[in-house]
Chains A and B, each alone.
Chain A
Amino acid sequence: MSKSAGQSKIRVDAFDKATGRARYTDDLCAADALVTRLVHASVAHGLVKAIDTSAAERVPGVVKIFTCFDVPEYRFPTAGHPWSTDPGHQDVADRLLLSRHVRYYGDDVAVVVADNEVAAAQAAELVRVEYEPLPFVLDVQEAMAPGAPQLHEEYPGNLLAHTQIRMGDYAAASAEPGLIRVEGWYDTPTVQHCHIENHICAAHMEGGRITVVSSTQIPHIVRRICGQALGVPWGQVRIVKPYIGGGFGNKQDALYEPLCAWLTTRLGGRLVKIDCRREETFVNNRVRHAIRTHIVSWVRPDGSFAARKIECFSNQGAYASHGHGIAAKGMGAFPQIYPCPNVEGDAYTVFTNRPAAGAMRGYGIPQAMWAGESHIDDVARALGRDPVEYRRQIAMPRGYVDGFSKNENYFDTFRQAMDRGEAAIRYQEKRKAYENQTGPVRRGVGMALFWYNTAVWPISLESCSCRMVLNQDGSLQVQTGETEIGQGCDTAFAQMAADAVGVPFEAVHVISTQDTDITPFGTGAYASRQTYVGGFAIRQTGELLREKILTCAAQLTRQMRENLDLAGGRILRISDGRDLMGLGELATQVLYSLDHSQHITAESTYQIKNNAYSFGCTFAEVEVDIPLCQVKLLDIVNVHDCGKLINPALAEAQVHGGMSMGIGYGLSEQLLFDEKTGKPLNNNLLDYKLSTFMDHPNLRAEFVENPEPTSPFGTKALGEPPACSPAPAIRNAILHATGVALNDAPMTPHVLFARFKEEGLL
């Protein structure tokens, strides 16, 4: 019987999603739900002195208006991390449901509840808020300066966290004679996830308990956070997560679920909905941390590193959310991807009056690769070396083991990936062809590596639970707490479950919806973890189910248990391969047995104490129109080693999406703020330049399938890695084309105009 895993099965939700039958949060919300409109602060920093709702309350249709003076005093964290029982490792609890101390332009100060959207919008306009304005700061390094406006009393100097890397002796090593010093500052912007479905949630009460249906990646975590925010036992809250239209990490945070849950408790349990507008998604959800990075490399003439230094300044925005995890992960990659014995690293995560930064696809690695891979090209240039050939010399070797995570580089992935990328884009040939160009329009090729690791062990808990229930016809339901957010994990889980149990793919029904009342515990979609960790729980639970089935089969067929196998949904006698009975017949006989009835189910939790590297690279070819300051991306290839592919077609689609995100990160996306007021300027999809498919060449994905030894299915991370290296690859291609190093992302025409002028090209 051929394996399901490894085949490009059609995704299990394809027909429902393509035909519009798949039901999302708003489809599930009854039409008579009360609706809401948030009142957002019109200052970047300040204290709310008073709120006058009298005019707003007179708008017909308004049910109730709640202000920041009405909400309970429970401070809660929002980050979608597994809870830690160690208070030292718990997320920072700095949020109230509505804010009296406004810390960014647009902070939530009140909420209007109405029976229709027009009334809610009209009333929100009429709510009068009086502020005591405070000075504000938007830039990360300005926020660290003495005398800067202070956001949180508990964090003097706005410093949320500072961590260090100290390896060897940087100062002594950098004094070695004959070294070349290469230094650079590299900056990345505040960007937003721009998933297609805005965050939405709806809450009601039943039997004294609160149910929230939400567009979230992390239902079990959101249940805990709602309990914390409302000061109610966690079991009083039920979160239902239906199909969602993407998340990319934005929904790996409690967004408006706690407020919505609280509202229903104040509205007699009535169904009430919070539905973010796109303008709110940009500002009032989460953004990617803008990180400014300073790198100094001391290089020997043979290209080896004597010593390296890195400083990362991570712009946290107004609230802690995922906090320092992002900068820490990014800095952590630095001494690994290009090992060097003497490294000094400092990462600072700093509060500013920008929207709160949280998790976003790549979790610090796109920023780290922007800086690190731009810098490696700068070093190669200083040495007069080809960037690919140089990376072959210095990139992490096979057999490298990280002391902390115990991650091992089992294969020579970086060099294999570079071989594939070079061939795919005909790198050497083009590198030569594009030498010595002088015209107004020039071409170049460039590349960047990326480092990534799967899941969160050993920093946090990695645990996955799975339940399998056998039906009378031999089909089965599979549940996990791990969430389908558009990436295709339901399909991958069905494929793995089919193989783990020994049934055809078509016999597996993965229950897509998570309902914390009935779904086994799982922490959800983040850290590119689900296929990896899900595999452990599915394999273990599948074994348990198989064992029960084969024990029953032994009784029914009067054959020795050890001589029986389950494959393709059939009970087979191993010794001669005879097909003894179908699984459906077995299930029916066992369930309806008048002698000893059994409903065959299995459930188990697996705690994963492994983690796996997932590496690769991007190669890009560009054409730069110097007079028009425009970059056209001609070709781009991502190469990934994510272990064995569970579903090649879905893997390719996953890579395409990440590449698109990386292209926008490199060339066009950036949330802008008015320097005078702190107001976001372009929080809509017209003025925020998400790249369109007209801006992309044909996106190409290639895979180096080295099986991951720790995974029962040989698989590892692919969700986030594709977004990590396109931007620096494009940057390095522009450097090749024009000789101009662009260190600030995104590389918009405005940036090119300024730099080309500086370099005398214009």
Chain B
Amino acid sequence: MYDIKAFYEAQSVQDAVRLRLEHPQAQILAGGTDVLVQVREGRRAGAELISIYSLDALRGVTLDGEENIRIGSLTSFSHITRDPIIQKYINVLGQAVDMVGGPQIRNAGTIGGNTCNGVTSADSASTLLAWDAVVELTGAEGIRRLPIQDFYLSAGRVDIRPDEIQTALLIPKASYEDCFGHYIKYAMRSAMDIATTGCSVNVVLTQDRSAIRRCRMAYGVAGPVPLRCPAAEAAAEGRPLTGETVETFARAALEDIRPRDSWRASKAFREHVAVEMARRCLIESVKLAGGVMA
């Protein structure tokens, strides 16, 4: 038996916006794989819930008029993994969300919930950040879009206004075109786990595939929110496909990340693993892009 004070079921996005305004204390419920756990634990005991789970308009992956990828916020992890658009243009995202929990969680959990939760360990977060995803929010005044980097405010807090719900995540064409990436989830077991650290890297190679034209990297659990790695990215851009490039890039990640000591893992351990993941992710991304390491 769950301690839930009230439960409102939205019939449309507009209805959800109205419910948000009517019940400002209420928590939005999507797949429920985090919120219901928190209600049971007592952290959200007595909560009011607004369920948007029946809004099928927020499900599915499409290409818009400008060929940007649009992922409806209620699209489940398992649907993302199996979606042909995802597989063709940003397969790494499908792979990343296939590492969430177990099969039942991946059927119920949604990418919108995974990002709105604001947790640094979310398996979708580092890849979305590394691919410059855009968050689409719908509120009383219409649609607002912002880079995902700005969406994350602090641990557990994201930029959703009191009248808004998140309706989509967009991957701009300029982001995914010719781009190939790899994600490593470092966890203490091979399923049913939360990342100790997650690393997502993607590259665009020069036309002759001899050097890195663009490189982006983001980590989960390397700071209070998922974070990008400007120092490491700069260290790789324009560099040839050599071991030295990989090493410089991976070491530079230490300037970007801010892991902490906790009983789950020490700072030294997280840093060590982060550097090794950066190495392996870059090498794998280059390989996927058709590059050959010297």
Q: Which residues of A contact B (CB under 8 A)?
A: 116-118, 121-122, 125, 627-629, 668, 672, 674, 681-682, 685-687, 689, 691-695, 748-750, 753, 762
Known: A116-B1, A750-B265, A750-B269. A121 touches B42 (CB 8 A): yes
Query: In the complex, which residue of chain A has the Cβ closest to the Cβ of B279?
Result: A627
B193 located at the interface, meaning its Cβ lies under 8 Å from any Cβ of chain A in the complex: yes
By a CB distance below 8 angstroms, the chain B residues around A687 are 264
State which of B133-141, B149-157, B182-190 sits at the interface with chain A. Answer: B182-190
A686 interface neighbour in B192, B268, B269, Cβ under 8 Å: B192
Closest residue to A117 on the B side, CB-wise? B1
- Would you mind naming 30 contact pairs between A and B with Cβ atoms under 8 Å apart? A116-B1, A117-B1, A118-B1, A121-B3, A121-B42, A121-B45, A122-B3, A122-B45, A125-B42, A628-B186, A629-B269, A629-B272, A674-B263, A682-B263, A685-B192, A686-B192, A692-B190, A693-B191, A694-B191, A695-B189, A695-B190, A695-B191, A749-B188, A749-B269, A749-B273, A750-B266, A753-B268, A753-B269, A753-B272, A762-B272
Extra inter-chain contacts (11) besides given A628-B276, A748-B188, A753-B272, CB under 8 Å: A122-B3, A629-B269, A629-B272, A668-B188, A686-B194, A691-B189, A692-B102, A692-B192, A694-B190, A749-B269, A753-B269
Minimum CB–CB distance from B243 to chain A (whole Å) comes to 13
* Residues of A close to B263: CB separation below 8 A: 672, 674, 681-682
Given the known interface contacts A116-B1, A628-B186, A674-B263, the answer about A686 and B193 at a Cβ–Cβ threshold of 8 Å is yes
B283 to chain A, nearest CB (A): 12
A629 in contact with B273 given A125-B42, A750-B265 (CB within 8 Å): yes
Residues from chain B with Cβ under 8 Å of A685 in the complex: 192
B194 / chain A contacts, CB cutoff of 8 Å: 686
Chain B residue with minimal CB distance to A35?
B1
Which listed residue (A117, A628, A689) contacts B189, Cβ 8 A? A689
Q: Chain B residue with minimal CB distance to A682?
A: B263
The A-contacting residues of B in range 246-280, CB under 8 angstroms, are 263-266, 268-269, 272-273, 276
Q: Scan residues 151-191 of chain B and give those whose CB is less than 8 A from a CB of chain A.
A: 186, 188-191
Question: For A694, what are the chain B residues with a Cβ–Cβ distance below 8 Å?
Answer: 189-191
CA distance A597 to B192 in the complex (A): 62
Distance, CA A762 to CA B275, complexed state (A): 13
Give the CA-CA distance A668 to B187 in the complex, in Å: 11
- State in angstroms the CA–CA spacing of A687 and B192 once bound together: 10
Whole-angstrom distance between the Cβ of A129 and the nearest chain B Cβ: 17
Contact with A along B45-73 (1 / 0, CB 8 A): 10000000000000000000000000000
CB of B188 within 8 A of CB of A689, answer yes
Residues of B within 8 A of A749 (CB): 188, 196, 269, 273
In the assembled complex, which residues on chain B have CB atoms less than 8 Å from the CB atom of A682? 263
Residues of A within 8 A of B265 (CB): 750
Which single residue of chain A is at the shortest CB-CB distance from B269?
Answer: A753
Instruction: Please count how many residues in chain B sit with their CB below 8 Å of the partner chain's CB atoms.
Output: 24
Cα A460 to Cα B220 in complex, Å, equals 55
CA distance A6 to B273 in the complex (A): 51
A32 to chain B, nearest CB (A): 14
The CA-CA distance from A400 to B266 in the complex, in Å, is 49
Nearest first, the 5 A-B pairs at minimum CB distance are A694-B190, A694-B191, A117-B1, A692-B191, A627-B276
Docked CA distance A672–B263 (Å): 9
Of all chain A residues, the one with the shortest Cβ separation from B187 is: A689
Q: How far is the CA of A628 from the CA of B277 in the complex (A)?
A: 8
Question: Contacts A121-B3, A125-B42; is A668 near B192 (CB within 8 Å)?
Answer: no
Measured between alpha carbons, how far is A674 from B263 in the docked complex, in Å? 8
**Which residues of the partner chain B approach A691 to less than 8 Å between Cβ atoms?**
189
CB distance from B289 to the nearest CB of A (A): 23
Known: A627-B276, A628-B273, A674-B263. A118 touches B3 (CB 8 A): yes
Q: Which of B42, B189, B264, B268 contacts A668 (CB 8 A)?
A: B189
**B residues 6-55 with Cβ under 8 Å of A?**
42, 45
- How far is it, in angstroms, between the C-alpha of A693 and the C-alpha of B102 when the chains are bound? 11
Nearest chain B CB to A158 CB, angstrom units? 25
- Chain B residue at minimum C-beta to C-beta distance from A687: B264
Interface string of B186-215 (1 = CB under 8 A from A): 101111111010000000000000000000
In the complex, chain A residues whose CB is within 8 Å of the CB of B269: 629, 749-750, 753
Contact assessment for A692 and B188 in the assembled complex, using a CB-CB cutoff below 8 Å: no
Q: Please name all residues of chain A whose beta carbon is closer than 8 Å to the beta carbon of B45 when the two chains form the complex.
A: 121-122
Shortest A667–chain B CB gap in Å is: 9
The CA-CA distance from A250 to B231 in the complex, in Å, is 52
CA distance A121 to B1 in the complex (A): 10
Instruction: Name the CB-closest residue of B to A120.
Output: B1
Mask, B93-128, CB within 8 Å of A = 1, is 000000000100000000000000000000000000
> Which residues from chain A contact B189 at a C-beta distance below 8 Å?
668, 689, 691-692, 694-695
Cα distance A692–B273 when bound, in Å?
A: 22
Report chain A residues within 8 Å CB of B266. Answer: 750
Residues in chain B near residue A668, CB distance under 8 A: 188-189
Closest to B188 in A: A689
Which B residues lie within 8 Å of A628 (CB)?
186, 273, 276
Separation of A125 and B269 alpha carbons in the complex (Å): 37
Measured between C-beta atoms, what is the minimum distance from A671 to chain B in Å? Answer: 12
Which residues of the partner chain A approach B273 to less than 8 Å between Cβ atoms? 628-629, 749
Shortest distance from the beta carbon of B284 to any chain A beta carbon, whole Å: 14
Given the complex, which residues of B lie within 8 Å of A693, measured CB to CB? 191
B193 and A689 contacting across the interface, CB-CB below 8 Å: yes
B191: chain A residues within 8 A (beta carbon): 692-695
Give the complex CA separation of A749 and B3 in angstroms: 38
Which B residue's beta carbon lies closest to that of A628?
B276
List chain B residues, Cβ under 8 A from A686: 192-194
> Closest CB of chain B to A739's CB: distance in Å?
20
Task: Give the distance to chain B from A80, nearest Cβ to Cβ, in Å.
Answer: 31
Min CB–CB distance B277 → chain A (angstroms): 8
Residues of A within 8 A of B268 (CB): 753
Q: In the assembled complex, which residues on chain B have CB atoms less than 8 Å from the CB atom of A689?
A: 188-189, 193
A118–B42 alpha-carbon span in the complex (Å)? 10
Name which residue of chain A comes closest to B263, CB basis.
A681
Chain A residues with CB under 8 A of B192: 685-686, 692
In the complex, what distance in Å separates the CA atom of A180 from the CA atom of B193? 45
Point out the residues of chain B lying under 8 angstroms from A762, CB to CB. 272
Task: Name the B residues within 8 Å of A753 (CB-CB).
Answer: 268-269, 272
Name the residue on A nearest B37 (C-beta). Answer: A686
Give the distance to chain B from A573, nearest Cβ to Cβ, in Å.
60
- Distance between Cα atoms of A686 and B190 in the complex (Å): 12
- Minimum Cβ distance to chain A for residue B19 (Å): 23
Q: How far is the CB of A200 from chain B (nearest CB, A)?
A: 15
| Distance, CA A753 to CA B45, complexed state (A) | 39
B51 to A: closest C-beta gap in Å = 19
In angstroms, Cα B2 to Cα A691, docked, is 28
Q: Which residues of B contact A118 (CB under 8 A)?
A: 1-3
- Chain B residue with minimal CB distance to A762? B272
Considering the complex, give the chain A residue whose CB is closest to the CB of B275.
A627
CA distance A118 to B3 in the complex (A): 6
> Nearest chain-B residue to A630 (Cβ)?
B186
Complex Cα distance, B264 from A624, in Å, reads 21
Give bound CA distance, A762 to B266, whole Å.
16
What separation, in Å, do the CA atoms of A750 and B196 have in the docked complex? Answer: 11
In the complex, how many angstroms separate the beta carbon of A646 from the nearest chain B beta carbon?
A: 34
Task: Give A223 to B192 CA distance when docked, in angstroms.
Answer: 39
Q: Shortest CB–CB separation between residue A447 and chain B, in angstroms?
A: 24
Query: Given the complex, which residues of A lie within 8 Å of B42, measured CB to CB?
Result: 121, 125
User: In the docked arrangement, what's the CA distance between A125 and B41, Å?
Assistant: 12
Nearest Cβ in chain B — how far from A463, in angstroms? 42
B269 → A minimal CB distance (Å): 5
Which A residues lie within 8 Å of B264 (CB)?
A: 687
Cβ–Cβ < 8 Å partners of B3 in chain A: 118, 121-122
The answer for the CA separation of A691 and B265 in the assembled complex, in Å, is: 18
| Minimal beta-carbon separation of B183 from chain A (angstroms) | 15
Shortest beta-carbon distance, B263 to chain A, in Å?
Answer: 5
A682→B1 CA distance, assembly (Å) = 23
- A239–B42 Cα distance when bound, in Å, is 33
Chain B contacts of A121 at CB under 8 A? Answer: 3, 42, 45
